[in-house]
Structure 1
Amino acid sequence: MELLVYLAGEIHSPWREALKEMAKQYELPLVFKGPMEDHDRSDNIGEEIIGKQPNAILKDEAASAINNLRTQIWLNKADVVIALFGENYKQWNTAMDASTAIALGKPLILIRPEKLHHPLKELSNKAQVTVETPEQALKALSYIFES
């Protein structure tokens, strides 16, 4: 059995690559999807598809529509969602993706540092599992495959 894992969370650190590498080391049958990690491509995709926009707000709206399409499709197909809340960036997209996963009935593993416990307590309460590191999230998934 192979699981499709959607990796929600900030795109400015290499946490996804580290988690994917650990999954290979654990020999877990996981396929990973997530948001577009190329920030420039994500910001420009609307104009690439529908053409130049007259201002920055409409450019953002066009990109947002395409990025939301991508996210919605992969969240719907996901068997489980891992959402990482880091300490250095605003986490609006992570919160939105985690909330969508909950609304869709997708199992959610929430990764957040201890210092974010209080602001994320309600979201954490709705997740199946809350951990502090990507490695802990992966260990929770590896338990699924034990005999």
Structure 2
Amino acid sequence: MSFEVYLSGEIHTEWREEIKRGAEARGLDIIFTAPVTDHDASDAAGDHLGPQSEGFWRDHKSSKVNAIRTRTLIERSDLVVVRFGDKYKQWNAAFDAGYCAALDKPYITLHDEDIIHPLKEVDAAALAWATTTEQVVETLAYVLRD
């Protein structure tokens, strides 16, 4: 069995690469996709559409351009992994999880125990909650098992 997995969420650690390496080491047939993880590039995604005098409108245009990629890749995926880190609040990750729930798209949350309470609704709709990338890889291995 083959899977397409969208890796959503925080962009400040190497969690995506850890999952990719783990899946490759296990010989899993997975295509991984992700948002643009270059923070500056993501913030500037709509700049080519013309200058804005206010930060709100720059963010507004860029979020819409980023949404083209995000929505397309989430809709095309078989499964989404949503990572919540501890450095910043990932409102975009929470939005992606909600989008998955609305689409009835299976997703796994990946976060530490210290943010269980603020993510209780997000976790309640997830099909699994993991605290490590190894747990995500093990879940993927099970799901793709012959």
TM bucket normalised to smaller: over 0.9
Q: For residue 78 of structure 2, what is the amino acid of its counterpart?
A: D
Q: For residue 19 of structure 1, what is the amino acid of its counterpart?
A: I
TM superposition shift of 1:139: 0.6
Q: For residue 37 of structure 1, what is the amino acid of its counterpart?
A: T
Q: 1:64 — aligned with what?
A: 63
Q: State how far apart, in whole Å, the 2-side matches of 1:45 and 1:84 are.
A: 22
TM superposition shift of 1:11: 1.0
Q: Give the TM-score, by structure 2 length.
A: 0.94
Aligned length: 146
Q: 2:35 — aligned with what?
A: 35
Matched, 1:44 2:41: no
Q: How does 1:1-147 map to 2 (within 5 A)?
A: 1-48=1-48, 50-147=49-146
Structure 1 segments of 4 or more deviating over 4 A? none
TM superposition shift of 1:57: 2.1
TM superposition shift of 1:145: 2.2
RMSD value, Cα? 1.2
Mind listing any 5+ residue stretches in structure 1 that lack a counterpart? none
TM superposition shift of 1:133: 1.0
TM superposition shift of 1:56: 2.3
TM superposition shift of 1:58: 1.6
TM superposition shift of 1:29: 0.6
Show CA shifts across 1:65-122 (max 9, x none): 1011111111111100000111121120111001111110111111111111122122
TM superposition shift of 1:129: 0.8
Q: For residue 107 of structure 2, what is the amino acid of its counterpart?
A: L
